Structure 1
């Protein structure tokens, strides 16, 4: 197991173990996790490309009655994630070391009510010199379309997919979802007002034919650099995005 640090999420409500160098959870993980809300007690959730577990740990904290699974290709991150789950007492959370290209995955397709993911960056991006980050940003060489297809494959009919990605990936994302999912909701994320949105969150429902819509923008910071009230409540208190 690599050298790791003891960090916290949600204002120290969750302990997370992360490698000293390499891929580490960011505020994006917490913000994306807040999209899932009002789920049924028997719903289950899959975190694809779970990294150090930032997304799924937040979900396990909020939905203690629901089964949550993480898929991650980097064995050292899986080991740290399972250690984090144990440290927090999340018996409903399990991580698997697997490549989404594998044929014999531990979970069958069409098994999940909700699939959530911070997908890899475009294959055209400049790779990170850090091997862990480079692999996280281009998970086993998977392009975004293949990644989204896998996520949809794991969803039950009319299940929900939740993604966060850079704004320039919107076109490729919508193309990958075309004729496979509907009820698409797009949330542009702005660091501050009067700036260009660099990230977006997208919700899509498998097999739905409901038209897409663009929701109100989400601002993470005030002009003075402090978090907005809404961002503060999501990042510190674990508030649902739609509260």
Structure 2
């Protein structure tokens, strides 16, 4: 991996080395991190971490937690380790395929061990769309056919009883994610993300508590852009690390 950029997130509070091409951290990572209820002493697992943007931004709010970054691409995992050092985050970086139980076990990812799991799963599945020829972009964007259930099951399996899963996904996968997550999670909170106030949602944020039986709550939406095409004041504050969605 040769072309690396040095970027700043949350108004400069997070330094991120990431590939110049392929999948790069952006608004989805900002929103997911802003929805992470990290507390002192928590074990927080960032699944599908890439270079660590989500976990690093969550750590910027609460450094007295232990962060575990799970990434299957060794090159991205190396960048994640570098980013953890540069940001002085207490962490471990695990190279593992979350869809493969033996890979998880070999890497030391133990069931019922996390207080909080954060994940931005690949949005698409093979066979649904044409996959990018760029290896990194393809891996970040597409799961094997039918693998979303396995991904969410694996994430939930890492949680302690009453631990919380928080995920972001495309709005058109909402029904599927609610159905799958509802098998193991309760007390779910749903927040839709709209590009502008008059356009349909493009993303959703969903969180839930392992083993809870509490009902679903629908939270106020996030509107990213105003009529002028610029970030709303809320979106700007989220990107600068001056607000969160908790």
Q: Is the aligned partner of 1:138 residue 2:142?
A: yes
Contact 1:49 1:139 (C-alpha < 8 Å) held by counterparts: no
Task: Describe the SS at the equivalent of 1:81.
Answer: helix
Q: CA deviation at 1:180?
A: 1.1
Alpha-carbon distance in 2 for matches of 1:14, 1:42: 21
Q: CA deviation at 1:98?
A: 1.1
Look up the match of 1:3. 3
Structure 2 unmatched runs, 5+: none
Cα RMSD over matched residues?
1.5
Give the counterpart of 2:212 among 208, 217, 231.
208
Task: Describe the SS at the equivalent of 2:106.
Answer: coil
The superposition leaves residues 112-157 of structure 1 with CA deviations (integer Å, 9 ceiling, x where unpaired) of 0000000112312321221101011235777111110000000000
Q: CA deviation at 1:241?
A: 1.1
Look up the match of 1:84. 83
Task: Describe the SS at the equivalent of 1:193.
Answer: coil
Q: Is the aligned partner of 1:26 residue 2:30?
A: no
Q: What count of residue pairs does the alignment treat as equivalent?
A: 240
Look up the match of 1:50. 49
Look up the match of 1:120. 122
Q: Is the aligned partner of 1:235 residue 2:239?
A: yes
Q: Is the aligned partner of 1:35 residue 2:35?
A: yes
* Structure 1 moving runs of 4+ over 3 Å: 139-142
Q: TM-score, normalized by length of structure 1?
A: 0.94
Contact 1:9 1:16 (C-alpha < 8 Å) held by counterparts: yes
Contact 2:95 2:107 (C-alpha < 8 Å) held by counterparts: no
Q: CA deviation at 1:226?
A: 1.4
Contact 2:111 2:158 (C-alpha < 8 Å) held by counterparts: yes
Contact 1:189 1:220 (C-alpha < 8 Å) held by counterparts: yes
Look up the match of 1:175. 179
Alpha-carbon distance in 1 for matches of 2:41, 2:6: 32
Contact 2:94 2:107 (C-alpha < 8 Å) held by counterparts: no
Alpha-carbon distance in 2 for matches of 1:155, 1:138: 24
